[in-house]
Every structure is written in structure tokens, then in C-alpha cells.
Amino acid sequence: MKRKKKKKGIQNKHELRHRQNEFFKKLKHTMAILGDDSAFDLLDKKRRLMIYCTRIRPFKVINPAEGKRASKAALQMLNDNLTQLLQHTWVELNSQQIRINLYDFSIYAETLFLFWDNVVNEEPDIGERFHACFPIFEKDEFNEQRLKMLCMVERRLELLSWLFSDFTSSTIRFAKEKLKENRPPFDLSPFFNNYIVEQKKTETELLEIDGHRRTIFRVCLNAKQAFIPFTLTPEQLGLQGMMQKLPLKVFIQKHVIVRMEERLGKTFVHLSYLYIITSLLQAPLPAGKPNSLLFPMNEGNIRLGYLQADIIGDKLVVRTFLFVTNNGTPEGKKLQKLAGLAKLDKAYLGIDRLNTFITSDIKDHQQLRALFNQAGCGGLFQLNYSWMIKANKKQGACADRLACYLGLQQATGRQTANKHEAV
């Protein structure tokens, strides 16, 4: 037993030494980016140990002391995604065009600045020389940028909360861990960047829709660090009437997520909270029947489709997702008028799904492309979704079949025959 404890103690020392070495290697690299890495040589063993103990810790998501707690695997996933978001966000400092990612800035640059800010008073023998290595810290602009960086981190945390919220289970948000008022003298908690994950379980109701009792889920927003049940007024929806100011409670059916997966792909299911909330904040269009609306869902300026929602009593219930070519959309109706394509035709040809437009040869067929452009669906060809296509996967060949189905292939054949006769 004593040998095992001794062996474990030796392993822990090796791991600690390794972490320290990795930290100082990265700190010296940051010194070279922000100023002069010769400042590292001014630090003796005692000063390096002090810097290591008072280093700014990475931003981390933790469970609350009380209330609903996330699983260990869920916390790990949240922290991994947060780290990736910060590491892939690059910023430029001052007019010197110094580039550094948000993760390194929040740990190494902040730790370095903290030491630099106190070195003259606490370490007078090296203070002036250390100060001279980092003139970038002396500018007021740098302090302004530090505040901007913190705002950027909190926006990434907000994005993370949107990405991991689920309409059918819970909405999440992140709140900064508050420091205890009565802390011991050598408490290190001020050097930690911990955010507590808070979860609000989704409220459900049973509502009779089309003669059946269906489960609907209340849409909740994470706004200004609070959970707010989402409401929209008839006035915001562009509707006329006496009760324009009366808020409508927004609900959603699970069927919406199912249709998004079928028509847009699994990737969009992971991003469904972000896309759906953004869509519901858009000005809706009339759906062609009383108390029914279409909320545009876009990727940038490109129309992907619509959320169809119905006003039922004091509720706005999001019923389904329509791909942009579906018959219930303005573009789908125009496509039907131009090419005579009914709902079953579109399903048979596969043009009721995004996958067909990004993995097939339709975009390379001039006549088909012109048809979809005329119907208002041409934006689908501009989407850069190569990351959704598996490596080495061959492009699907369906353009000729679709053109033949629409009678376009025959016209092409006649033109070719005429050219041969002319020759």
C-alpha cells in the first residue's frame, strides 16, 4: 500500500511539472507575440512559481451547488466546445496588427498583464526592465480591448447555450460564478473563470390539433441572463384587429424538428434552437389560410424554407418546417406553376430536400438551374455546404433524369439534332 501511494505521488509530481513546463512554454510564446520574450529570463524560480499559482484559469462550465446538474459527459462536451470556439476566434490587438486567439489571450496574455501591472511595486529590481518589454500594455487602448475580449467570450457562451438548448427537454444558460464575500487570505478563486450551467425544464401542454390531442412545447429564451417564456403579439406579426397588444404564447411541436432533419439534414437538428429562434424573429408571411403564418428560415441571405405556425386561442403553435421547394411556400407554388410539379413529384425527384441540391449535378445543368432561379430557389446553389458532404463521395447524377421528367431533355435533344443538320 505504501509503495502504491509513493508511486502515485511521484506520478502526480511528474504531471504537475509537465503542466508547468507546458504553461511556461506557452507564456514565453505569448511574450514573443506581445513584446519581447527576453522578459522570461528576468523571472527566477520563485517568480515563475508565483506566476503559475496566480495564472488566469481557462473559461470553464461547472455545475451549480444546488438544483439540476448536468452529467459529467455533458459538462465535458460543453467545455470541449467552448475551448474550440475560443481557440478558433482570432483577434487583432492595437494598430500593430498582433493576432492572437481568444483562448490564449484570456489565459496567457491576461496572466502576463496581471504580473506586468504589479511588477514595478512588488519586484522593483526587475520592474523597469520587465515593463519596457511590453509597451503594448501601457496604452489605454489595451484596457479597452480587454473589456471587448470579455464581451466576445460571453457572446460565445451565449452561442453555446443556444446550440445546446433543446425545445423538447430544457433551455440552458451560463451565469458567472460569484466570489464569496468572506474569502481566506490566500484564496485563488479570483483567478478562475467559472460559469455555472443553469437549466430550465421545458413546459408542455396537450392541445387538440386537427382532432387529435398533441403535445406542444413552450419556447423559452435565454435573454439578459434570465429565462424568458417567448411571446409575440399580433401587432408584431403584422396582423390587424382589436387585440394587437395581447401576447401570444409561443409553442412548438416535435414534428418541426423531425421535418428539419428530413429536409435539411441532421446537422441542422443540432443547430435547430438557433435557426428556429432566429426564424421566429423574422417578419412572417401569410400562409394562405386563416390564422396561419410562414416564418422565413435563412442561411445568411439565402432562403432555406419556412416555419409554418398557427394561431390557436392565446397560442402561436409552430406546426412544421417546409423546405423552400415545398408546395406550401411561395417559391414552391411558383415552381409548381412553372413546371407542373406536385408534392409527390418533388418527393419522387428528391428536390424537396437540401441534400439533393448540394450533392447532385443539378447545379451544373443550365436549364434546371434557370428553372429554379426563376422560381426563387436559386440561392440553394450558392450554399457552401461542402463540409456536409463525406470525403471521396461521388456527386449524385440526377440532373438528366429530372430534366427528362420535366421534358427539358427533349428540347436539348432537338437543339443538338438541329445543329448536326446545319453542319
- Predicted local confidence at residue 412, as pLDDT: 43
- The predicted model gives 5-32 an average pLDDT of 87
Residue 418 scores a pLDDT above 50: no
In this structure, how many other beta carbons lie within 10 angstroms of the beta carbon of residue 227? 15
CA dihedral over 315, 320, 218, 151, signed as positive or negative: negative
The candidate with the shortest Cα–Cα distance to 232, out of 267, 277, 171, 172, is 277
DSSP letters for 263-288: HT-HHHHHTHHHHHHHHHTSPPEE-S
Residue percentage of the chain with pLDDT more than 70: 91
For residue 182, what pLDDT band results from cuts at 50, 70 and 90? confident
β-strand partners of 214: 207
Alpha-carbon gap, residue 134 to 130, rounded angstroms: 7
For residue 1, what pLDDT band results from cuts at 50, 70 and 90? low
Helix, strand, coil tally for the chain in percent (to 5): 50, 20, 25
- Predicted local confidence at residue 323, as pLDDT: 97
- Predicted local confidence at residue 393, as pLDDT: 55
What 8-state DSSP symbol labels residue 166? B
β-strand partners of 276: none
Could you read off the pLDDT of 121-156 as tens digits, one per residue? Answer: 888 999 999 999 999 998 788 888 899 999 999 999
β-strand partners of 200: 171
Secondary structure of residue 296 in the 3-state scheme: strand
The end-to-end CA distance of the chain, in Å, is 96
Measured CA distances, 280 to 231, 250, 251, 276, 308 (Å): 10, 9, 11, 6, 10
Q: Lowest mean pLDDT: which of 45-49, 330-334, 407-411?
A: 407-411
Provide the grid cell at 200: 430550465
Alpha-carbon gap, residue 336 to 339, rounded angstroms: 5
Residue 41 scores a pLDDT above 80: yes
Could you read off the pLDDT of 81-129 as tens digits, one per residue? Answer: 999 999 999 998 876 678 999 999 999 999 999 999 999 888 899 999 9
β-strand partners of 302: 299
Spatial contact of 160 and 78, defined as CB atoms under 8 Å apart: yes
Could you read off the pLDDT of 344-398 as tens digits, one per residue? Answer: 989 988 899 998 888 888 888 899 999 999 999 999 988 876 555 554 555 667 8
Residue 45 scores a pLDDT above 50: yes
Secondary structure of residue 293 in the 3-state scheme: strand
Burial grade of 381 (CB within 10 A; 0-12, 13-18, 19 or more): middle
Number of Cα atoms under 13 Å in the Cβ half of residue 310 = 14
- Predicted local confidence at residue 200, as pLDDT: 93
- Predicted local confidence at residue 67, as pLDDT: 86
φ, ψ (nearest 5 deg) of residue 174: -120, 130
Could you read off the pLDDT of 256-274 as tens digits, one per residue? Answer: 999 999 999 888 888 899 9
Provide the grid cell at 179: 466570489
For residue 421, what pLDDT band results from cuts at 50, 70 and 90? very low
For residue 288, what pLDDT band results from cuts at 50, 70 and 90? confident
Alpha-carbon gap, residue 2 to 115, rounded angstroms: 41
DSSP letters for 372-407: HHHHT-GGGGG---GGGSPTTPPPB--HHHHHHHHT
Residue 422 scores a pLDDT above 50: no
Residue 417 scores a pLDDT above 50: no
Angle, CA of 48, 49 and 51, to the nearest 5°: 65
CA dihedral over 88, 92, 97, 100, signed as positive or negative: negative
State pTM to two decimals: 0.82
**What ranges in 35-138 are assigned the alpha helix state H?**
45-53, 72-87, 102-104, 110-122, 124-132
Spatial contact of 112 and 92, defined as CB atoms under 8 Å apart: no
- Predicted local confidence at residue 419, as pLDDT: 38
Which value, in Å, is the radius of gyration of the alpha carbons in the chain? 29
Measured CA distances, 333 to 307, 325, 352, 377 (Å): 16, 8, 13, 11
Residue 205 makes CB contacts below 8 A (sequence gap 6+) with 215, 216, 218, 251
